[in-house]
């Protein structure tokens, strides 16, 4: 078995693979065309963030069985292409948590006390004591956007500094926030009250440019902003304008929209401190993720053991053919529910009915949790760690089984509960393999959860469907499928539209403005 290591990893990881009897080639800095030519000869590849495994490269990986990412982020791997070709994609979630949290704290101290600027002044032979008056962290309010693993570790450390902690994370339950000693607030309240704001979310359509001119104007004058998460979460042009005006007193940036940044006016700005994406760059973290990924690759190639796979559940091979369509159904239902139910989840109740009740349901529950949590946390969730993450986030998971599936031979019913309300969907398999959502709360429907979708609440009145189709057609959006459900004739109804391309914010607002449209949600699978 041959393993290609195309990015720099700790020698300890390389030694684990070699000691297992695997042939290991270390070839760092390959150009895409070089990698495309080489990858066909390897059974496994170990990468970090530099190597880009695009669909065209994966297409050439005829013998590749597994991709191992030494770290958690998988923005550089085309997971759809890998799954299509039967390639297991593994990462090492949690290996960078402490080091990224510590880097955030270092940036927090550095920006509050202007340490890099003062050091540069001293290095230039100056003694500008009055120029670098800082601010204390004690008794200041820290706003954390995203309370996952890293955000939680930052909160714990800042509590020790005597800071007041606010957090925005719509998917953390109130009880979990109380347990952590953190005040959970809405985003606008966080912007109004925080003296320092730190970001710990993945880059998604929802978080892209979440810090922009409009949201900055809601913040305190003299606020400080730290980003050790992902470039693109902050609108860099709007941040620059706010720094120049003094609205933002300082920014500490470890990540940028384009890396490395070229001619970026934020780099070198007197109110900005920058580091070159060092959040995970400690000796300990590099060793941890290298050892972890090497052990995962070794165990998979030699024993078939799958750990921390992001595109494949850990289940016995002889059960896979039966469970696979149910796994797909459960994951799609979880994703659908998560995108629809934007509240702190206290409880997930899964009911397996009919044939589904006779299956080994633990992989299905893990798949449902992966689908539920992926729109929130993205690359850090997989089939293996989803139950643990749900527990960490204070989500109680319940399972029940029943032989009665009503009008269907098999059914999975999913109910989400928050402190205020609940949300229920039911799904089944058509032709024993095609997932369908057949109930949304009390609406009977037949939804195919795939690709780009629109979910509309509307009044059941003449012309609604025509208006939706006309508006989408006018904007070049082709409709693949439409599904409908209603309470009573003329009452509340839902319309679900599968479209062939993404629908932008402008079109969403136009849809909301149509007669008899109550609300519009954008979903993606």
Quick: pLDDT tens for 390-432: 888 899 999 999 999 888 999 999 999 998 899 999 999 998 7
User: Do 30 and 116 sit in the same domain of this protein?
Assistant: no
Radius of gyration (Cα) for the chain, nearest Å?
25
- Whether 383 is in a domain gets the answer no
Task: Please give, one letter per residue, the 3-state secondary structure of 218-238.
Answer: CCCCCEEEEECCCCCCECHHH
Q: Are 286 and 11 in contact (CB under 8 A)?
A: no
- Residue where a domain stops, chosen among 261, 296, 312: 312
User: Do 12 and 107 sit in the same domain of this protein?
Assistant: no
User: Do 204 and 74 sit in the same domain of this protein?
Assistant: no
> What pLDDT shows up at residue 491?
92
Please state the rounded mean pLDDT for residues 326-354: 93
Instruction: Count the neighbouring beta carbons within 10 Å of the beta carbon of residue 102.
Output: 18
> What pLDDT shows up at residue 317?
53
Is the per-residue pLDDT at 384 higher than 70? no
User: Do 264 and 292 sit in the same domain of this protein?
Assistant: no
Is the per-residue pLDDT at 316 higher than 60? no
- Residue where a domain stops, chosen among 221, 249, 274: 274
* SS3 category, 107: helix
> What pLDDT shows up at residue 378?
64
pLDDT digits (tens, 9 = 90+) for 11-23: 999 999 999 999 9
- Whole-number Å distance between alpha carbons of 523 and 513: 19
Active-site residue flag, 481: no
CATH at 254: 3.40.50.720
Is the per-residue pLDDT at 310 higher than 90? no
Q: Which of 477, 68, 138 is nearest to 311 (CA)?
A: 68
CA atoms within 13 A on the CB side of 308: 24
Is the per-residue pLDDT at 109 higher than 90? yes
User: Do 150 and 251 sit in the same domain of this protein?
Assistant: yes
Worst-scoring range by mean pLDDT, 180-189, 304-313, 462-471?
304-313
User: Do 166 and 235 sit in the same domain of this protein?
Assistant: yes
User: Do 231 and 302 sit in the same domain of this protein?
Assistant: no
> What pLDDT shows up at residue 315?
60
Among residues 277, 308, 378, 436, which one is catalytic? 277
Percent of residues, the chain, with pLDDT higher than 90 = 78
Beta-bridge partners for 88: 66
Instruction: Count the neighbouring beta carbons within 10 Å of the beta carbon of residue 482.
Output: 14
User: Do 141 and 197 sit in the same domain of this protein?
Assistant: yes
> What pLDDT shows up at residue 313?
62
- Residue where a domain stops, chosen among 290, 312, 334: 312
Q: Which of 302, 363, 313, 288 is nearest to 65 (CA)?
A: 302
- Whole-number Å distance between alpha carbons of 74 and 67: 10
Among residues 48, 69, 149, 230, which one is catalytic? 230
Q: Which of 241, 189, 192, 195 is nearest to 219 (CA)?
A: 192
Q: Which domain holds residue 165?
A: 97-274
Distances (CA, A) of 495 to 223, 417, 446: 43, 24, 11
User: Do 152 and 55 sit in the same domain of this protein?
Assistant: no
Q: What are phi and psi of 127, to 5 degrees?
A: -135, 85
- Whether 77 is in a domain gets the answer yes
Distances (CA, A) of 51 to 24, 76, 150, 152, 506: 17, 7, 24, 30, 35
- Whole-number Å distance between alpha carbons of 229 and 199: 6
Cα angle: 413, vertex 416, 420; to 5 degrees: 140
- Whether 321 is in a domain gets the answer no
Among residues 136, 186, 259, 487, which one is catalytic? 259
Active-site residue flag, 277: yes
User: Do 184 and 244 sit in the same domain of this protein?
Assistant: yes
- Whole-number Å distance between alpha carbons of 51 and 245: 39
Instruction: Please report which residue ranges of 181-314 form alpha helices under DSSP H.
Output: 187-193, 213-217, 236-245, 283-303
- Whether 474 is in a domain gets the answer no
- Whether 245 is in a domain gets the answer yes
Active-site residue flag, 522: no
H or E stretch at 154:
helix 149-160
Q: Are 70 and 92 in contact (CB under 8 A)?
A: yes
User: Do 250 and 304 sit in the same domain of this protein?
Assistant: no
Who contacts 231 (Cβ-Cβ below 8 Å, separation ≥6)? Answer: 203, 255, 256, 257, 258, 259
- Whole-number Å distance between alpha carbons of 400 and 383: 20
Mean of all residue pLDDT scores within the chain: 92
- Whole-number Å distance between alpha carbons of 517 and 75: 36
Q: What secondary structure letter does DSSP report for 419?
A: S
Q: How many structural domains comprise the chain?
A: 2
Q: What secondary structure letter does DSSP report for 441?
A: T
- Whether 348 is in a domain gets the answer no
User: Do 43 and 131 sit in the same domain of this protein?
Assistant: no
pLDDT digits (tens, 9 = 90+) for 347-375: 999 999 999 999 889 889 989 999 999 88
- Whole-number Å distance between alpha carbons of 37 and 503: 37
- Whether 295 is in a domain gets the answer yes
- Whether 5 is in a domain gets the answer yes
pLDDT digits (tens, 9 = 90+) for 167-182: 999 888 888 899 999 9
């Amino acid at each position: 078995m041959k393993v290609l290591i195309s990015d720099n990893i700790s020698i300890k990881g390389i030694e684990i693979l070699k000691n297992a009897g695997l042939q290991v080639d270390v070839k760092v800095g390959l150009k895409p065309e070089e990698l495309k030519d080489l990858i066909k000869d390897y059974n496994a590849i170990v990468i970090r963030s530099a190597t880009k495994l695009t669909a065209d490269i994966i297409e050439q990986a005829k013998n590749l069985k597994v991709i191992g990412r030494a770290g958690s982020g998988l923005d550089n791997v085309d997971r759809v292409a890998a799954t299509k070709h039967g390639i297991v994609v593994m990462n090492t979630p949690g290996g960078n948590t402490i080091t990224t949290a510590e880097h955030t704290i270092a940036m927090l101290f550095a920006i509050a006390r202007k340490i890099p600027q003062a050091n540069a002044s001293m290095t230039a032979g100056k003694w500008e004591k009055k120029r670098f008056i800082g601010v204390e962290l004690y008794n200041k309010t820290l706003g954390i956007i995203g309370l996952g693993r890293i955000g939680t570790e930052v909160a714990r450390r800042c509590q020790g500094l005597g800071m007041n902690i606010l957090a925005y994370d719509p998917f953390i339950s109130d009880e979990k926030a109380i347990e952590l000693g953190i005040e959970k607030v809405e985003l606008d309240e966080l912007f109004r009250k925080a003296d320092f704001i730190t970001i710990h979310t993945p880059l998604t359509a929802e978080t892209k440019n979440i810090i922009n001119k409009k949201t900055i104007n809601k913040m305190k004058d003299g606020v400080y902003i730290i980003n050790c998460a992902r470039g693109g979460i902050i609108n860099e042009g709007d941040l620059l304008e706010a720094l120049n005006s003094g609205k933002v007193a300082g920014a500490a940036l470890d990540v940028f929209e384009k890396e490395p940044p070229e001619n970026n006016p934020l780099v070198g700005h007197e109110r900005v401190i920058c580091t070159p994406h060092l959040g995970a760059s400690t000796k300990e973290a590099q060793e941890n993720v290298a050892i972890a990924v090497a052990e995962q690759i070794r165990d998979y190639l030699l024993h078939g053991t799958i750990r921390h796979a992001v595109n494949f559940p850990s289940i016995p091979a002889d059960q896979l053919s039966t469970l696979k369509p149910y796994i797909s159904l459960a994951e799609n239902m979880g994703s659908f529910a998560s995108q629809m139910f934007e509240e702190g989840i206290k409880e997930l109740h899964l009911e397996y009915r009919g044939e589904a009740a006779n299956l080994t349901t633990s992989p299905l529950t893990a798949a449902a949790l992966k689908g539920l949590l992926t729109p929130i946390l993205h690359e850090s969730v997989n089939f293996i760690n989803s139950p643990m993450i749900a527990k960490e986030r204070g989500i109680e998971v319940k399972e029940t089984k029943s032989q009665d599936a009503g009008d269907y031979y098999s059914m999975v019913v999913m109910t989400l509960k928050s402190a205020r309300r609940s949300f229920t969907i039911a799904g089944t398999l058509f032709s024993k393999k095609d997932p369908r959502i057949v109930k949304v709360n009390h609406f009977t429907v037949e939804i195919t959860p795939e690709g780009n979708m629109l979910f509309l609440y509307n009044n059941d009145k003449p012309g609604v469907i025509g208006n939706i189709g006309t508006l989408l057609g006018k904007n070049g959006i082709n409709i693949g499928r439409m599904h409908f459900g209603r309470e009573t004739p003329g009452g509340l109804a839902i319309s679900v539209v599968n479209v062939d391309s993404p629908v932008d914010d402008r079109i969403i607002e136009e849809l909301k403005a149509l007669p008899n449209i109550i609300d519009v949600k954008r979903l993606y699978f």
